[in-house]
Amino acid sequence: MNAPDTTYFRKGFGLKQDVEATLSADYAGQLVDLLRARDYRLAAGDVTVRLAKEFGFCYGVERAVEYAYQTRHKFPDRRVYLVGEIIHNPHVNQRLREMGIEILLPAGGVFDYSAISADDVVILPAFGVTMTDFQTLRDKGCVVVDTTCGSVLNVWKRVEVYARDGFTSLIHGKYYHEETRATASQVEKFPGGTYLVVRNMDEAHDVTEYLAGRGDRAAFLAKYGRAASAHFDPDVHLRRIGVANQTTMLARESLAIGEEVGRAMTSAKGDAYRAENFRTFDTICSATQDRQDAVNALLLEPLDVMLVVGGFNSSNTLSLAALCAEKVRTFHVEDALCIDPVRGTIRARDTVSGAEVETADWLRSGAVTVGLTAGASTPNNKIGDTVARVFATRGIDPMSIG
């Protein structure tokens, strides 16, 4: 019988009760609890706030953050490192720094592990890490605490099967995103494993055009060089395609991309060819889907403005903001500090350009209904702080709401 591995941990250290009080103090939100208790609706004066019924921290995020806290508690006297951000929320990552966890940041997409020794502890983020990064850390003999989300692991299994069976993994995602880089690396488990990342439907159309025989090889390689395997050749590797996605993308677009590519393969070579050489599978995580569904339900109500709270680099938050912007005036704010009640301004990320824009008098006069949701990496206290500032903008003391 093999001895247990004492340097690799995926299930925490059994210290949940030891860190629960600290986690609650750091991230709980009283106003969010009040919203839940009142059917996700708070009204005071002429302001009503409506909260989507699925929002904020998902299970995978809660697990990752809790394991980071457990790790610090388990190893109080050892150096603890984190490979990149644990999740895409600046407040959570800053709190980990305050706990003495050093966050390693990549240079040109590459992490430097030279300072890490076998005596150190390294936390892997919820997004996961590439196979190369993982093996480098295992070779060092340090303690590795793996918080990779289960939904991400499901995508890895799908991509691994594609590579095993000789399919190119066509991944709907952002080629530079930590999760997508980690997912793409899974094809390396098999000789010749290949991937191509497309950001949106426009980029997927480049693939369908190539399948239709209207693509230019040199132009395609020039455009997607950074988003594909080093050996990728569209003339060879678009013959067999398996579709997957970054778990936080817009679900309907991922499904549409799969349908478009499948249709293009049928048009080019027939149903029989498609049946043998095309696969697709919805790998959007359930938490992402639940939050998108909840927002769509909220958008059926009469809203004057929508607030989406979450990191400006949070993919699932960006997807929520894009959904909302289609139906109502929407502001994507990183946190409550983006709202200045005294000046009556809001600083938000523009859903089209990505630029941060300050807007005056964003909360119209008279009775107003504000919709609210938050990305899966946004803690409840930051959501509650945002609600408080909405009311404060109208001169309403949130502490008076009972």
Catalytic residues: 179
Contacts of 291 (CB under 8 A, 6+ apart): 52, 54, 55, 58, 316, 320, 373, 375, 376
Query: Which one-letter amino acid corresponds to residue 290?
Result: D
148, 82 in Cβ contact below 8 A?
no
Continuous segment of H or E residues that includes residue 260: helix 251-269
Please report, for the chain, how many H helices and E strands are present, in that order.
Answer: 15, 17
Place of tokens 């249709």: 263
Burial class (CB in 10 A: 0-12, 13-18, 19+), 66: middle
Would you say the C-alpha torsion 216, 222, 224, 230 has a positive or negative sign?
positive
Q: Which two tokens stand for residue 268?
A: 């080019």
In DSSP notation, 62-100 reads HHHHHHHHHHHHH-TTS-EEEES-SSS-HHHHHHHHHTT
Q: Which two tokens stand for residue 33?
A: 């609890």
Give the chain's length. Answer: 402
Kindly provide the residue ranges of all beta strands, DSSP E only, lying in 262-367, ordered along the sequence. 278-280, 305-309, 330-333, 339-340, 345-349, 356-360
* Other Cβ atoms closer than 10 A to 110: 10
Query: Listing from the earlier edge strand, what are the strands of the sheet with 8-9?
Result: 8-9, 143-146, 121-124, 80-83, 101-104
* Other Cβ atoms closer than 10 A to 256: 15
* Other Cβ atoms closer than 10 A to 354: 10
Query: Listing from the earlier edge strand, what are the strands of the sheet with 195-198?
Result: 195-198, 168-172, 241-245, 278-280
